[in-house]
Amino acid sequence: MKTFYTADHHLHHSGMELSFGRIVETFEKPERAEIVLRRVKEVGLGPVIEPPAYDRAAIERVHTPDYLDFLQNVFAEWRAAGRDGEVWPYSWRHRSMPMLDAPPASLDARLSYYSFDMAGSITETTWQAARRAADTALAGADAVLSGERAAFALCRPPGHHAGRDFFGGYCYLNNAAIAAQRFLDNGHARVAIFDVDYHHGNGTQEIFYDRDNVLLASLHGDPDFEFPFHLGYARERGAGRGEGFNLNYPLPAGTGWLEWQAAFEDAHARIGAYAPTALVISLGVDAFKEDPISQFKLESEHFLTIGRRIADFALPTLFVMEGGYAVDALGINAVNVLQGFEGA
């Protein structure tokens, strides 16, 4: 299996985050990608390839141009306003406030408009890193489009919390959504996204919620207690043409393998019934029992089984790296999925 990776991910490193009332070192740090890459090489998974640079038009198929302009230019605006340090939002719109018809004019108001949390800041080179993560996903998709059975896009920063015009949850561009759209734009009529990350992919849901050519199935911590909250309930099934094509499996804290597997198998069956022609896996491995910001109880061996069952779809498949913060086991868990797939 080909792995697409670029060291340009180091261009983004938000040094801190606000976590339960404390300022802590961010859990989403550059060493995550390096740990996974090291394991890819240790097991001899396959060649590691630097992705080419893609035109912004491929990203505009998913994200709005005004949002992309904002991400590209906000750090320079922050400095021009005389501010030091990293770019952080100041406030967010409350449900009692009316929706805006257009982005507001002031810097802080636009930061609020285009974000939903303080999990990650914007640094001087976050835009470049996010663009290269999207390039990584696009290169993986193109490899599969060219005939590879599967490919692994080792993306960082991750993407599934980023929506059409907002960032949050460590995510700036939605790599999995960009890859899914790439498949659609190159001959695939139906694509499924299977999100096995512990946290709900709220951005991916928002992007495809009213569409029937992408089926999203997501297993995640129940939004009653888990980030990103507010979205990810089973009742959210899509809208308009997309009704019935958004499948959420919210699970309680402490969920172990048997309960998780039951939800996985139900989602597996429903993806199969949809009969997609390509599959994108949002590969978060933070359902692992020792993950510091998650509350499921999967073991490393379970990720091998997940990979084998994904292979049973017998579909062109792209794995896109998302979360996973138990750094000691991160490489093992992520690559276990890929080896399980390859060995099936």
pLDDT at 101: 83
Say what the pLDDT of residue 324 is. 97
Distance of alpha carbon 169 from alpha carbon 161, whole angstroms: 6
Select from 261, 280, 78 the least CA-distant residue to 160.
280
Pull the structure tokens for residue 205. 């849901």
Structure confidence by residue, pLDDT tens digits, 228-282:
999 999 999 999 999 999 999 999 999 999 999 999 999 999 999 999 999 999 9
Annotated catalytic residue within 9, 63, 161, 199: 161
Is the peptide bond prior to 158 cis by the omega test (within 30 degrees of 0)? no
Contact 277, 316 (CB under 8 A): yes
Concerning whether 161 is annotated as a catalytic residue, the answer is yes
Give the integer Cα–Cα distance in Å for 120 and 335.
Answer: 26
Q: How far apart are CA 232 and CA 270, in angstroms?
A: 17
Residues in Cβ contact with 311 at an 8 Å cutoff, skipping those fewer than 6 apart: 317, 340, 341, 342, 344
Up-side HSE of residue 213: CA atoms within 13 Å toward CB?
10
Predicted local distance difference test score (pLDDT) of residue 74: 97
Q: Specify the pLDDT at position 87.
A: 94
Residue 124 has a CB neighbour count (10 Å cut-off) of: 14
Flag whether the pTM goes above 0.95.
yes
d(CA 36, CA 334): 7
Segments of the chain scoring below 70 in pLDDT: none
Amino acid 94: pLDDT: 85
Rounded-to-integer distance, Cα 129 and Cα 156, Å:
8
Q: d(Cα 254, Cα 240) in Å, to the nearest integer?
A: 35
